[in-house]
Amino acid sequence: MKVKIHHIVPLFLLLFLLGNGMAFSQANNLVVIDQAFAQKEEVLSKLPYGTLVLYLKTTSNPWKDIREKMTLNPDLKNIHLFAESGHNSLLMGGIEYNTDTVASEFELAMLEGLYKGIHYQLLLYSCNLPSSPEGLDLIKELGNRTYFNIAAATGCTGVFDENFDFNFTTLDQPTVGPIFTN
């Protein structure tokens, strides 16, 4: 009986530590899913256990919701954004952000205020917006206004494609990979 207990206890501790390590490894990631994102159920089914998720609704400003979530969770470093987009616009919380609306969005400056030497990363899961020069300009403007390192895939056909790769960033910083593996 003692022999079995001596083998079971270390095994239990190892499994416990591995489980907690996986939960803690997700502590610096926030997944933001817009209510209008067509593949939101598929995204949710592929997320690692313990991932913090924020749903954007039309009842409040989406950038304010992101800022408040970041303020409540100071360990966050990566925001994974799943939202519908066009070749020159991004739909978040029922608001279509284009060059004009980004220029007048007060909450973006509030996000820059969170910067304390941490290179926050906004990983944009969209194939439409980064596929055009106008879209890339909009992404750059968002990066300038938020001081986020924004990464996007410029040559993809879908966010669940096995070749989905972030190959565009607005700042010269290393980019983390997708929140899930394909």
pLDDT tens digit sequence for 103-118: 999 999 888 777 676 7
The pair of three-digit structure tokens given for residue 9, joined into one six-digit string: 């206890």
Spans of all domains in the chain: 28-169
What distance in Å separates the CA atoms of residue 69 and residue 146, rounded to the nearest whole number? Answer: 15
pTM: 0.83
Sorted by sequence, the CB contacts under 8 Å of residue 40 that are 6+ apart come out as 33, 34, 82
CATH class of 28-169: alpha beta
pLDDT lower than 70: segments of the chain: 1-26, 115, 117, 181-182
Longest CA span, the chain? 72
What distance in Å separates the CA atoms of residue 2 and residue 6, rounded to the nearest whole number? Answer: 6
* Burial tier of 6 (Cβ tally within 10 Å: 0-12, 13-18, 19+): exposed
pLDDT tens digit sequence for 155-166: 888 888 887 889
